[in-house]
Amino acid sequence: MIYHIKQKMLSFKDEFTIYNAQGQELFYVEEKLLSFGKKFFMRDREGREVLSIEEKVLSLLATYEVYIGGQLAATVKKDVSFFRPKYTIQGLDWEIQGDFLAHDYRITEDGRTIANVSKAYLSWSDTYQIDIVDEEYADVLLGIVIVIDAVLAQNRRNN
């Protein structure tokens, strides 16, 4: 299934809306302000929390945990890399490969692609298309895309 994540512009905090391929709003992601480390909450159209994301601020490299139903589903960690950003997903046997700076990457499990992510460049705000092959993991995959956007945005602010 194809999803589109669109970041809200001109906001004091990170906010995203997630749509299906037909343009129907499915989820809303909002950053919690005034917290120790970044925290995001993804809610469905009825306002029910689908997942939460928490930055582990005491880590040397960017590390975020994705929780579903209060249970840790995945830990996304930026690894040391001299040429290109590299990320590992702990808790799931997944790898992320591609050009992160161009927001064009894929997530694989045992060499099999489970999601492709690409950025729409002719847009006023950050807009991503995510093609998820295995719907069973849709929620956690959408959370991982939000994490990578947060890490890349932080890197842009620091440089």
- Spell out the domain ranges in the chain: 2-158
Segment among 11-25, 63-77, 94-108, 133-147 with least mean pLDDT: 94-108
pLDDT tens digit sequence for 50-88: 999 999 988 778 899 999 999 999 999 988 777 777 788
Range 99-106, long-range pairs (CB < 8 A, 24+ positions): 100/148, 100/152, 101/152, 103/128, 103/149, 103/152, 105/148
pLDDT tens digit sequence for 112-139: 999 999 987 666 667 889 999 989 999 9
| Cβ contact 153:145 at 8 Å | no
| Cβ contact 79:151 at 8 Å | no
Per-residue pLDDT at 57: 86
State if pTM tops 0.85: yes
Mean pLDDT computed over every residue of the chain:
88
Per-residue pLDDT at 124: 62
CATH homologous superfamily, domain 2-158: LURP1-related (2.40.160.200)
Q: How many residues does the chain have?
A: 159
